[in-house]
Chains A and B, each alone.
Chain A
């Protein structure tokens, strides 16, 4: 990396930043309840940002012998690049979060197979007609950032991912259920995920009709994660900078019910997106986004923080949306790490018993396509249950839920469960802790 910096400076760059990524993924995949595939993915590459004649240039390569070309490409793009209005990270001491779990490094293929096999066996033991899928994956990743301004650090992270899912087809009716864990430490919750999946199959096996209109709804932590994706944009410094976030002028104002406190936690213990420094060499941190309903922070990267004169939060990330991985080619931009919402005072069992009639929504499909910036969402209830007299009576399907997160967490919020559950899904960035939310007058649309 030093060599790249030297070469860039020798070719006229005033300052520069080198990002290095190397990772090794090992994965076992089970399809149709059988072992299908073993894969090994080895990846490495360099990204170079530099400033020449006051302008930003950027290039990436996965060729270990392509470093001269890398420097030339970055220099070439700087000729028509934007005026650089921020500095790269300077010397900082980054310590903190433990990111390596020796058990993940030592995990054998046989052990990974056993984990998926046990989960499938347990699911099939409940119902042999289920078409089960499972995967166990480990990643050993090294990220280094070095700048001409004195930042130099390397972090190794181990990541463990496990999923179990099943599809039960009866006639033309398909019922999908499953669970996922991802984090920097080995999970012990595999069997728990299977139990929850079996419970979803039990509760969802009979379909029941639901009527359209304003409805009392419980969002499970997984559905809260779906809905909160809209909020990712509202607190994103670059969206605020563009004045399209509904929170643009709301700093210090009450935006939510006073029982809502929300954090972006780049240091969350074992969190999937936890790290010591972000992809620009800025220390990661736990940032208070909303405290007792009051908006406290926006998330920033180097560029946005300089532009808006806001504190750095360590959210300059090269994340590839929809896939939990870093995309080397992408410039770092503002993105979330792990989110953490404080719980309330009512145990979930009490919340459910007290709900009377309503709908439990566990998983929503299509959230990503709505007007996310405005906080609006609408999606298909992929997994949801009708509740009558505080008891689940069957599955609700071919049904839509719609709303706006800024209304949902304000006037429509009735209660938060005291239990907070960690969720993550394939396709979500990070690990998130959310309570169950009881909401009133939520729009539900269904057939008929």
Chain B
């Protein structure tokens, strides 16, 4: 494979400023129970590649399944780049890497026979369905993928990377009198099948929460002080700030550059936010990004001030900043774009008890069912929540969806917990039509003032 990629690069790269070739093979296994039934059990082989060419600032991209025609696609990408390019190519300099990254696993999902996987998840599924008469259905979903990715470019880089990615969810659906709710346990890893084992206690808790949600009143809409648990706070930092720090939003937009100027104050002096690919085992773990740039830990906010952003080689080159190894794609069908890896709020010094005790009327929101942003405003939904009244946790409430504005809400963070928690789930991040990209996020408990919550 490497020879073939080198041949193409050697033959054609003189026609453009920059040329790169990706080839990828993925093997996937999936198990899904929906209610009592095994609704998906499958294996997938996905093989393909792409060629990306840059000429005079213009990009051409061609992806394909038939590797036999790679030269034809490379020529197509070059021709397209040439048609687009009218300017100057600017890529930040990086040392071309030659490396082979092979697996280093705690527990290899490929060594677990499919029959055994079905057994494990059937048992969780049965546990959910047998839990209580209010449980009317379940979703138990598991996947593992083994990726082999080759990357080479016209500057001499040649990288082969192996990667395992696995994840899943065990969810209980409950219903009573035409009303339904759910709660779940999610897991994910890039080096340990063990995260899928021993979840029985958590599954029981999740079933109980789902049932309690049926009895919980809807939250009353309005502006509240909120305390977020580490899982939800992780999604919060991803949506509220992570996306805006992706440099491809900024590098061609002069007005946004004025808003996102390094050194601008986004939070109080104790707020520090970083994005890192270094943490082994997490789904956001990366060794080299999809432009062959080594990963790193990038501080986005330091002492409350904007201190960095997530770059591809092009955005770094054009903005005169340092590349951060943040160019990622979900698979060979797409070009890499600026993305997050594992995005975290650093721990502070407050205790969870102090946060609750110091809140007269507020909401304690726990875990996330998702989040979304348009850059400036964002929303995220809690899996479950409690009212805080007179400094104490009070009744459970439901349907808690929070919204905020990046320029106001981060400044509203007035307490940071001392209990950093980093979590992985089975989902992923979506951007530019590429979903789901494996990412992780983390945070301690945090308290935020003046957050708008939707509700009747």
Contact = CB atoms under 8 A, between A and B. Distances in A.
A69 B45 contact: yes
A243 B136 contact: yes
Given A37-B60, A369-B371, A400-B454, A59 B43 contact: yes
Given A40-B61, A329-B44, A169 B256 contact: yes
B83 A38 contact: yes
A446 interface: yes
Interface string B243-266: 000000000110110110000000
A173 B407 CA distance: 9
B437 to A, nearest CB: 12
Nearest to A404: B456
Interface string B16-31: 0000000000001010
B223 A371 contact: no
A370 B401 contact: yes
Interface stretch (A4-12, A282-290, A340-348, A377-385): A377-385
B118 interface: yes
Interface stretch (B62-70, B100-108, B148-156, B293-301): B62-70
Given A37-B60, A62-B65, A370-B399, A445 B455 contact: yes
Contact of A244 (B66, B136, B253): B136
A445 B80 contact: no
A82 interface: yes
Interface stretch (B201-209, B341-349, B373-381): B373-381
Contacts of B430: 322
A90 interface: no
A141 B113 CA distance: 36
Contacts of B39: 82, 303, 331, 333
Given A43-B333, A64-B65, A80-B41, A174 B372 contact: no
A447 B40 CA distance: 45
B37 A400 contact: no
A129 B453 contact: no
Given A58-B41, A64-B66, A242-B35, A445 B222 contact: yes
Contact of A445 (B48, B398, B453): B453
Given A129-B255, A447-B450, A244 B60 contact: no
B157 interface: no
B92 interface: no
Interface string A346-371: 00000000000000000001101111
Query: Which of A42, A59, A446 counts the most B-chain CB atoms under 10 A from its CB?
Result: A42
User: Which of under 10, 10 to 19, 20 to 34, or 35 or more describes the interface residues of A?
Assistant: 35 or more
Main secondary structure of the interface of B (DSSP, over half): strand
B45 A61 contact: yes
Contact of B455 (A31, A38, A244, A378): A378
Contacts of A169: 253, 255-256, 258-259
Given A40-B62, A400-B452, A322 B403 contact: no
Nearest to B178: A246
Contact of A447 (B178, B223, B433): B223
A422 interface: no
A374 interface: yes
Nearest to A110: B83
A444 B398 CA distance: 17
Contacts, number: 271
A380 B379 contact: yes
A398 B333 contact: no
A35 interface: yes
B60 A379 contact: no
B85 to A, nearest CB: 9
B403 A36 contact: no
A400 B401 contact: yes
Given A62-B48, A365-B379, A376 B399 contact: yes
Interface string A49-64: 0000000111111111
A212 interface: yes
Interface in A313-331: 322-323, 328-331
A243 B137 contact: yes
Interface stretch (A71-79, A256-264, A272-280): A71-79
Given A40-B80, A76-B114, A169-B259, A398 B377 contact: yes
A176 B256 CA distance: 13
B175 interface: yes
Contacts of B450: 447
Contact of B369 (A129, A369, A382): A369
A445 B372 contact: no
B223 A39 contact: no
B115 interface: yes
Contact of B173 (A31, A171, A244): A244
Contacts of B5: none
B372 A369 contact: yes
The 5 closest A-B pairs by CB, nearest first: A32-B252, A400-B454, A366-B379, A445-B221, A242-B137
Interface of B: 28, 30, 34-35, 37-48, 58-66, 73, 76-77, 80-81, 83-84, 86, 114-115, 118, 136-137, 173, 175, 178-182, 221-223, 252-253, 255-256, 258-259, 333, 335, 369-381, 398-399, 401, 403-405, 407-408, 430, 433, 435, 450, 452-456
11 contacts: A32-B252, A36-B58, A59-B42, A64-B66, A77-B42, A82-B38, A172-B259, A174-B376, A212-B221, A242-B35, A368-B372
